[in-house]
Amino acid sequence: MKKLEGLIEAQQLDAETMWEIFRIADEMQAVDYDPILKGKIIQLFFYEASTRTRFSFASAALRLGAEVISTENARAFSSAFKGETLEDTMQVISRYGHMIVLRYDKEGGAKRAQQHATIPVINAGDGPGQHPTQALLDVYTMIQKFGKLEGLNIVLAGDLLNGRTVRSLCYLIAKHFPKNKIWLVSPSLVRMRDDIKEFLTRYQVDWYESDTLDGILEGADVLYQTRVQTERFDEEKERSLLERIQQEASHLFINVEMVERMKKDSIILHPLPRKTEIRFRVDNDQRAWYFRQSDNGVAIRMALLKMVLLGY
């Protein structure tokens, strides 16, 4: 019996652990309520609001009978917090429960938290850094569709500079599923950063970069669309930059006509929330898998909570 010590980055997982997460997630799909974590307290500590991710973790915890303590938006609320270090906060709240799920607004927050917390930490997104549970559910969804994650053309489209889900996803795919092709399609101003490209290269993943979906869409098995992360820009100072990015990004927006050009057996994913980058009419197409992908988040998080608190 092992216990997962927490989850900070997607790339920390070895293959065995990752497959165990997916196996337990499969089991969890059928669990509506099973209080195996009775008496455990899970703290959802969100420095920035992310109602969706917070609800998803809360649902996972409550379905397993755990208790939840939650803050929606610690950064905005408490003037006292503005002057306190993350390190102090993590040390203090370690006494309050059995586990911390942390959303932080700066890269590297989860790792710093883990160093000072005396209970396990799961990273629920740290600024432009990582969002490993999202990457897990993304990969899980692809495997759910194709049975395996091999030999696929995976197209990542949108704001690849600021989107943390695509970063975590690249790490996970490169490390455990190298025999795929990855297409990085973004406005030129928000290209994927070099660290990820180097990681892909180091793990011998075939990757390509483009600012258009033309000629790429038709061969895609997975089209992973993302939105422009407008909240990472300064509304005043970077307005014109942001407008240029959104103008360029609009060429990547998916409508029904574009979906028609895709393979019958392909799927469209999106970490949500969606703005206009996938048109609503696309929802009715059988290739639209983003709500199913989102649904998988609960099972993945149930699996992680069990593996951290009870073991596997």
Residues with catalytic function: 52-53, 82, 103, 131
Annotate the chain with three-state secondary structure. Answer: CCCCCEECCHHHCCHHHHHHHHHHHHHHCCCCCCCCCCCCEEEEEECCCCHHHHHHHHHHHHHCCCEEEEECCHHHHCHHHHCCCHHHHHHHHHHHCCEEEEEECCCCHHHHHHHHCCCCEEEEEECCCCCHHHHHHHHHHHHHHHCCCCCCEEEEECCCCCCHHHHHHHHHHHHHCCCCEEEEECCHHHCCCHHHHHHHHHCCCEEEEECCCCCCHHHCCEEEECCCCHHHCCCCCCHHHHHHHHHHHHHHCECHHHHHCCCCCCEEECCCCCCCCECHHHHHCCCECHHHHHHHHHHHHHHHHHHHHCCC
Our CA angle for 152, 172, 143, nearest 5°, is 45
Tokens of 239: 């307005």
When asked if residue 89 is in the footprint of a second copy (CB under 8 A), the reply is yes
Interacting residue with a second copy among 13, 28, 71, 259 (CB under 8 A): 71
When asked if residue 32 is in the footprint of a second copy (CB under 8 A), the reply is yes
When asked if residue 83 is in the footprint of a second copy (CB under 8 A), the reply is yes
Interacting residue with a second copy among 7, 10, 28, 74 (CB under 8 A): 74
Interacting residue with a second copy among 2, 23, 51, 201 (CB under 8 A): 51
Task: Please say whether the beta carbons of 14 and 311 come within 8 A.
Answer: no
Interacting residue with a second copy among 14, 27, 78, 257 (CB under 8 A): 78
Chain centroid to Cα 13, Å, comes to: 15
Q: Which is nearer to a second copy, 24 or 62 (CB)?
A: 62
When asked if residue 147 is in the footprint of a second copy (CB under 8 A), the reply is no
When asked if residue 279 is in the footprint of a second copy (CB under 8 A), the reply is no
When asked if residue 180 is in the footprint of a second copy (CB under 8 A), the reply is no
Q: Which is nearer to a second copy, 6 or 271 (CB)?
A: 271
When asked if residue 274 is in the footprint of a second copy (CB under 8 A), the reply is yes
Q: Which is nearer to a second copy, 157 or 299 (CB)?
A: 299
When asked if residue 105 is in the footprint of a second copy (CB under 8 A), the reply is no
Interacting residue with a second copy among 8, 86, 97, 166 (CB under 8 A): 97
When asked if residue 141 is in the footprint of a second copy (CB under 8 A), the reply is no
When asked if residue 95 is in the footprint of a second copy (CB under 8 A), the reply is yes
Q: Which is nearer to a second copy, 133 or 294 (CB)?
A: 294
Q: What minimum distance in Å lies between the beta carbon of 21 and a second copy?
A: 18
When asked if residue 20 is in the footprint of a second copy (CB under 8 A), the reply is no
When asked if residue 55 is in the footprint of a second copy (CB under 8 A), the reply is yes
Q: Which is nearer to a second copy, 159 or 221 (CB)?
A: 159
Tokens of 106: 């700066």
Task: Please say whether the beta carbons of 304 and 65 come within 8 A.
Answer: no
Q: Which residues bind a second copy (CB under 8 A)?
A: 32-33, 35, 38-41, 43, 49-52, 54-56, 58-59, 62-63, 67-74, 76-81, 83-85, 87-89, 91-93, 95-97, 227, 230-231, 272-275, 280, 291, 294-295, 297-298
